[in-house]
Structure 1
Amino acid sequence: GVCDTDPNRAKEVAGELGVLSFHDYKDLANKLDAVTIASTTSSHFEIAKFFLEQGVHVQVEKPMTNTSEEGEILCRMAEDKELKLQVGHIERFNPAFVAAKERLVRPLFMECHRLAPFKPRGFDVSVVLDLMIHDLDVVLSLVNSEPKSVSAIGAAVLTQDIDIANARVEFRSGAVANITASRVSQKSERKFRVFQDHQYLSLDFGGGEVSLLSKTGEWGGETMPFSQESWNLEKSDALLAETHAFVECIQRDKKPIVSGWDGLVALRLAEQIEQEIRQRLEQVGSQ
């Protein structure tokens, strides 16, 4: 079934899919095995908690909740009830990232740029939770290490919340990530660069392009021997791949590719970045 607070929209989508429509999620009680929640962030906790209490497997859009405290409650509920809780960090299912991850051994420095033009949506959260959290999740999935220190700066440009942000995150493993996100840019860009021993990898989440530069020998006095590989991957529906993965983890009783705990770790780091930015803005404003 399809549920939307706009009954006409619910009927329209349900008609296209040949399923029932609802305008109150509580009307779905005892009718589901699994649910995908793609509502406003502020409503995620209430809706996800309702369905977990009903014994329903849940996929919830990122960020999983408004606060990490709420996120932890959902994770523990899912664990206690032996239910699947997957968080919609869609870039994990992007073909460019899937191809790139196979070639990454020990990332040392990562640089992320996620820029988007201004759109009248997503203002219930800052750009850190709206956009940057995508790259926080990607970075965390690669380094497999806890953050050691965070420094960040940002500004509210067109809304009352943070619209542009930059964060530098140092991990206990020694890896460093420099991450920039903006929702007030004149262009769209979703690029990710990774440096590791003797290799540099660049990927374009939007264009599906991956490039790998590898050192193949020692400095010869005039030229540095290296090889370059490039892939231009066919665009595929990452959202569909994400949904298929959710269904498969239920059917095969596997851990979700992006578990609730994964989503919680990204959310906690995002909160730390937000706090750092707000403290810095307060310092600037008090001078």
Structure 2
Amino acid sequence: MEIAHRIDRPAFIEANRHGKFAGRGGDVDVITDLMIHDIDLVLAMINAPVKSVSALGSSVITSHVDIANARIEFENDAVANVTASRIANDRLRNFKIYMRQQLLELDLLGQSILITNRSYDQKDRFSHNTSTQQIDTVPAITLKNEIDHFVEIVRNDGEPFVSGEDAVLALRVAQMVREQIGQH
């Protein structure tokens, strides 16, 4: 992840992945189709054991969950709110990563990052300084990039971006979301 060096002990993460219903993926729930990717990213960013998962979801177009929201709480007191929908009018893919004195806002479709830094005066609780920096051109991770990376690690006996253990953990958390919603 290009911005990984900027992420330091997130306290709260919001992840949103919305798209229009395209017919593809209707044979599985939105958790398996879309949310799993953001669960994987959240787990990597927070890097702490999951304490609890609560979730809500609804079937609107297909017989599977088409829109879902999960709240994932971690042992280090961090929280992630992950939403996925395949029935939205507009495409949206963003992250807000709240850290001590910093907010990263990632627009993965618009390929930009907005960094807001805040500093507080310890003596005066109401005094603070804020600076904002916009970074354009966040490299998009496409399916082609993922396939190219997979082929490269197989040919060169390299290390994948996501380990098998990390992938299994993301699947377990996705299953916890499914169970909370009542889909088995």
Give the structure-2-normalised TM-score. Answer: 0.90
**Structure 2 letter corresponding to 1:262:** D
Quick check: 1:100–1:203 contact (8 Å CA) kept in 2? no
Deviations 1:52-83 (A, max 9, x none): xxxxxxxxxxxxxxxxxxxxxxxxxxxxxxxx
Structure 2 counterpart of 1:257, from 157, 161, 181: 161
1:107-186 → structure 2 map (5 Å cutoff): 107-186=10-89
- Between the two proteins, what is the percent identity of the paired residues? 39
Q: Of 134, 139, 157, which aligns to 1:230?
A: 134
CA distance in 2, matches of 1:198, 1:236: 27
RMSD across aligned C-alpha pairs, in angstroms? 2.0
The within-5 A match list for 1:239-258 is 239-258=143-162
* Distance in 2 between residues matched to 1:179 and 1:154, nearest whole Å: 12
> Which has more radius of gyration?
1
1:273 to 160, 168, 177: 177
TM superposition shift of 1:223: 5.8
Aligned-partner Cα distance in 1 for 2:63–2:27 = 10
1:160 aligned partner, one-letter code: S
Segments of 5+ residues of structure 1 without an aligned counterpart are 1-97, 280-287
- Name the CA distance, whole Å, in 1 between partners of 2:46 and 2:73: 11
Higher normalized strand content (fraction of residues)? 2
Aligned twin of 1:7: none
- Which structure 1 residue ranges, 4+ long, deviate > 4 Å from structure 2? 219-223, 234-237
The answer for the alignment partner of 1:198 in structure 2 is 101
Tell me how far 1:261 sits from its aligned partner: 2.2
Q: How far off is 1:215 after superposition?
A: 1.7
Report the structure, 1 or 2, having the larger helix content: 1
Aligned-partner residue type, residue 247 of structure 1:
V
Worse overlay, 230-239 or 106-115: 230-239
Which letter does structure 1 place at the counterpart of 2:171? L
CA 184–169 in structure 1, closer or farther in 2 if over 3 Å, else same: same
- How far apart, in 2, do the equivalents of 1:162 and 1:258 lie? 26
Q: Distance in 2 between the 1:218 and 1:163 partners? A: 46
CA apart distance, 1:235: 5.2
Q: Deviations over 1:173-192 (max 9, x none)?
A: 21100111111111110011
Structure 2's unaligned 5+ residue stretches are: none
Match of 2:128, SS?
Answer: coil
CA distance in structure 1 between the partners assigned to 2:170 and 2:138 by the alignment: 28
Cα distance in structure 2, aligned partners of 1:164 and 1:170: 20
Aligned counterparts, 1:29-40, within 5 A: none
Deviations 1:85-104 (A, max 9, x none): xxxxxxxxxxxxx3322200
Once the two structures are TM-superposed, the CA of residue 205 in structure 1 deviates from its matched residue by: 1.2
Tell me how far apart the structure 1 counterparts of residues 147 and 24 of structure 2 sit (CA, whole Å): 23
Shift of 1:142: 0.8
Q: Note closer, same or farther for the CA distance 1:235–1:143 as it changes in structure 2 (3 Å cut).
A: closer
Shift of 1:227: 1.8
